[in-house]
Structure 1
Amino acid sequence: MSDFINKLYKNQALFYKVFLFVLTSVLIVYLLPKGGKFKYDIPKGKPWQYENLYAPFDFAILKTDEEIAAERQDITRSHIPYYNFNTEKPENIKEDALQEVQNVFPDTTLNVYETIIDDFVGETVDRVYEFGLLQESERLGPDQSVYLLKGNEASEIAYRRILKQGEIRSFISDEISNAGFSSFKTELLEVFFNSIEPNVTFNNDLTQKELQSKLNNISYTRGIIEQGSRIIAKGEVVEGNKYNILRSLKAEYESQVWSQSNYNWIIVGYSGLVALALLMLLLFMRKYRIAIFENNVKVTFIFFNIIFMVMLTTLVVNFNIDYVYVVPLCILPLTLKAFFDARLGLFTHVITVLLLGFIVPNSYEYMFLQIIAGIVTILTVSELYKRANLFISVGQITLVYIIAYFAFTVIQEGNIDDMKPEVFLTFLLGGLATLFVQPLIYVYEKIFGMVSDMSLLELSDTNSKLLKELAEKAPGTFHHSLNVANLAEAAANEINANAMLARVGALYHDIGKMHNPTYFTENQTTSVNSHDELSPRESAQIIIEHVIKGIEIAKKNNLPDRVIDFIRTHHGTSTVYYFFKKEKEANENTSPEDFRYPGPIPFSKETAILMMCDSVEAASKSLKEPTSVLIDNFVEKIINKQMEEGQFLNSNITFKEIQMVKKILKRKLKNIYHLRIEYPE
Structure 2
Amino acid sequence: MKKIINKLLVNHSLIYKLFLYVATIVLVVYLFPKGGQFKYEFQKGKPWEYENYYAPFDFAIQKTEDEIALEKQQVTESSKQFYEYDENVVLQVRKSIDEKIENALLNSELIEEEKVKLRELVNKVVTDIYEFGYIETQNNIKNNNQLITLKMGNKSQDIEADKLFKSSQILSFINSKIGVQPFTQEENIVLNIIYEELKPNVKFDTIFTERVLQENLSKISYTKGLVAENERIIFKGDIVEGDKLIILNSIKSEFESQVWSKSNYNWIVFGYTILVALAFLMLLLFLRKYRLDIFENNTKVTFIFFNIILIVLLITLIVKYDAKYIYVAPIVILPLVLKAFFDARLGLFTHVLTVLLLGFIVPNSFEFIFLQIIAGIVTILTISELYKRANLFISVIQITFVYFVSYFAFSIIQEGNAQNLDWEKFIYFSINGGATLFVLPLIYVFERLFGLVSDESLKELSNTNSKLLRELAEKAPGTFQHSLQVANLAEASANEINANSMLVRTGALYHDIGKMINPMYYTENQSTNVNPHNELTPKDSAQIIINHIIEGVELAKKHRLPDRIIDFIRTHHGTTLVYYFYKKEEELSGGRADVSNFQYPGPIPFSKETAILMMCDSVEAASKSIKEPSAQAFDNLVEKIVNKQMEEGQFMNADITFKELQTIKKVLKKKLKNIYHLRIEYPE
Same fold (TM over 0.5): yes
Aligned partners of 1:357 and 1:41: how far apart in 2? Answer: 12
Q: Are residues 321 and 526 of structure 1, via their aligned partners in 2, closer, same or farther at CA, if it must alter by over 3 Å? A: same
Give the CA deviation at 1:99: 4.3
Matched letter for residue 131 of structure 1:
F
1:40 and 2:43 correspond: no
1:641 and 2:644 correspond: yes
In structure 2, the residue corresponding to 1:443 is in which secondary structure?
Answer: helix
In structure 1, the residue corresponding to 2:28 is in which secondary structure?
Answer: helix
Q: Are residues 653 and 127 of structure 1, via their aligned partners in 2, closer, same or farther at CA, if it must alter by over 3 Å? A: same
Give the CA deviation at 1:157: 0.9
Give the CA deviation at 1:107: 4.0
Matched letter for residue 125 of structure 1:
V
Aligned partners of 1:644 and 1:676: how far apart in 2? Answer: 37
**1:338-487, aligned counterparts within 5 Å?**
338-487=340-489
Give the CA deviation at 1:191: 4.6
Matched letter for residue 517 of structure 2:
H
Matched letter for residue 4 of structure 1:
I
Q: CA RMSD in A?
A: 2.1
Q: Are residues 91 and 466 of structure 1, via their aligned partners in 2, closer, same or farther at CA, if it must alter by over 3 Å? A: closer
**1:300-339, aligned counterparts within 5 Å?**
300-339=302-341
**Is the Cα contact below 8 Å between 1:47 and 1:235 reproduced in 2?**
yes
**1:97-176, aligned counterparts within 5 Å?**
97-105=97-105, 107-137=108-138, 139-176=141-178
In structure 1, the residue corresponding to 2:61 is in which secondary structure?
Answer: strand
Aligned partners of 1:8 and 1:218: how far apart in 2? Answer: 64
Q: Are residues 527 and 207 of structure 1, via their aligned partners in 2, closer, same or farther at CA, if it must alter by over 3 Å? A: same
Pick aligned residue for 1:605 from 591, 604, 608: 608
| 1:333-385 Cα shifts (integer Å, max 9, x gaps) | 11110110000001011111111111111111111111111111100111111
**1:54-73, aligned counterparts within 5 Å?**
54-73=54-73
**Is the Cα contact below 8 Å between 1:334 and 1:437 reproduced in 2?**
yes
Query: Could you tell me which residue of structure 2 aligns to residue 590 of structure 1?
Result: 593
Larger deviation: 116-125 or 627-636? 116-125
Query: Could you tell me which residue of structure 2 aligns to residue 81 of structure 1?
Result: 81
Gaps of 5+ in 1: none
Query: Could you tell me which residue of structure 2 aligns to residue 490 of structure 1?
Result: 492
1:298 and 2:290 correspond: no
Matched letter for residue 150 of structure 1:
M
Q: Are residues 172 and 597 of structure 1, via their aligned partners in 2, closer, same or farther at CA, if it must alter by over 3 Å? A: same
Give the CA deviation at 1:427: 1.0
Aligned partners of 1:9 and 1:597: how far apart in 2? Answer: 30
Aligned partners of 1:118 and 1:252: how far apart in 2? Answer: 73
| Structure 1 runs, 4 residues or longer, greater than 6 Å off | 178-184
Q: Are residues 194 and 388 of structure 1, via their aligned partners in 2, closer, same or farther at CA, if it must alter by over 3 Å? A: closer
Larger deviation: 16-25 or 159-168? 159-168
Give the CA deviation at 1:144: 0.4
Give the CA deviation at 1:126: 2.5
**Is the Cα contact below 8 Å between 2:108 and 2:186 reproduced in 1?**
no
Give the CA deviation at 1:676: 7.9
Matched letter for residue 62 of structure 2:
L
1:670 and 2:666 correspond: no
Matched letter for residue 611 of structure 2:
A
Aligned partners of 2:513 and 2:189: how far apart in 1? Answer: 107
Give the CA deviation at 1:460: 0.8
**Is the Cα contact below 8 Å between 2:514 and 2:550 reproduced in 1?**
yes
In structure 2, the residue corresponding to 1:485 is in which secondary structure?
Answer: helix
In structure 2, the residue corresponding to 1:652 is in which secondary structure?
Answer: coil
**Is the Cα contact below 8 Å between 1:605 and 1:653 reproduced in 2?**
yes
Give the CA deviation at 1:189: 2.0
Query: Could you tell me which residue of structure 1 aligns to residue 255 of structure 2?
Result: 253
In structure 2, the residue corresponding to 1:651 is in which secondary structure?
Answer: coil
Aligned partners of 2:190 and 2:608: how far apart in 1? Answer: 106
Aligned partners of 1:423 and 1:185: how far apart in 2? Answer: 68
1:619 and 2:626 correspond: no
| 1:464-508 Cα shifts (integer Å, max 9, x gaps) | 221122222222111111111111111111111111111111111
Give the CA deviation at 1:175: 2.9
Q: Are residues 196 and 676 of structure 1, via their aligned partners in 2, closer, same or farther at CA, if it must alter by over 3 Å? A: closer
Aligned partners of 1:563 and 1:195: how far apart in 2? Answer: 87
In structure 1, the residue corresponding to 2:148 is in which secondary structure?
Answer: strand
Q: Are residues 115 and 515 of structure 1, via their aligned partners in 2, closer, same or farther at CA, if it must alter by over 3 Å? A: closer
Aligned partners of 2:197 and 2:313: how far apart in 1? Answer: 68
Give the CA deviation at 1:642: 1.3
Query: Could you tell me which residue of structure 1 aligns to residue 22 of structure 2?
Result: 22
Matched letter for residue 67 of structure 2:
E
| 1:612-671 Cα shifts (integer Å, max 9, x gaps) | 111111111111111111211121111111112121122111121111111111111111
**Is the Cα contact below 8 Å between 2:170 and 2:195 reproduced in 1?**
no
Larger deviation: 28-37 or 667-676? 667-676
**Is the Cα contact below 8 Å between 1:100 and 1:194 reproduced in 2?**
no
In structure 1, the residue corresponding to 2:575 is in which secondary structure?
Answer: coil
Q: Are residues 676 and 159 of structure 1, via their aligned partners in 2, closer, same or farther at CA, if it must alter by over 3 Å? A: same
In structure 1, the residue corresponding to 2:233 is in which secondary structure?
Answer: strand
Aligned partners of 1:93 and 1:2: how far apart in 2? Answer: 99
In structure 1, the residue corresponding to 2:566 is in which secondary structure?
Answer: helix
Q: Are residues 84 and 583 of structure 1, via their aligned partners in 2, closer, same or farther at CA, if it must alter by over 3 Å? A: same
How many residue pairs get aligned? The number is 677
**Is the Cα contact below 8 Å between 1:176 and 1:182 reproduced in 2?**
no
Matched letter for residue 258 of structure 1:
W
Larger deviation: 184-193 or 228-237? 184-193
Q: Are residues 182 and 59 of structure 1, via their aligned partners in 2, closer, same or farther at CA, if it must alter by over 3 Å? A: farther
Identity %: 60
Give the CA deviation at 1:278: 0.5
**Is the Cα contact below 8 Å between 2:34 and 2:260 reproduced in 1?**
no
Aligned partners of 1:534 and 1:100: how far apart in 2? Answer: 121
Aligned partners of 1:502 and 1:121: how far apart in 2? Answer: 100
Matched letter for residue 53 of structure 2:
L
| 1:583-604 Cα shifts (integer Å, max 9, x gaps) | 2233223343432222111111
| 1:231-281 Cα shifts (integer Å, max 9, x gaps) | 111111111221111111111111124321212222111111111100000
Give the CA deviation at 1:104: 3.5
Give the CA deviation at 1:160: 1.1
**1:429-578, aligned counterparts within 5 Å?**
429-578=431-580
Matched letter for residue 16 of structure 2:
Y
In structure 2, the residue corresponding to 1:109 is in which secondary structure?
Answer: coil
Larger deviation: 570-579 or 488-497? 570-579
Give the CA deviation at 1:156: 0.6
In structure 2, the residue corresponding to 1:35 is in which secondary structure?
Answer: coil
Q: Are residues 229 and 513 of structure 1, via their aligned partners in 2, closer, same or farther at CA, if it must alter by over 3 Å? A: same
Give the CA deviation at 1:96: 4.6
Matched letter for residue 277 of structure 2:
A
Aligned partners of 1:184 and 1:469: how far apart in 2? Answer: 103
Aligned partners of 1:566 and 1:498: how far apart in 2? Answer: 13
Pick aligned residue for 1:285 from 287, 294, 300: 287
Q: Are residues 416 and 110 of structure 1, via their aligned partners in 2, closer, same or farther at CA, if it must alter by over 3 Å? A: farther
**Is the Cα contact below 8 Å between 1:43 and 1:238 reproduced in 2?**
yes
Query: Could you tell me which residue of structure 2 aligns to residue 49 of structure 1?
Result: 49
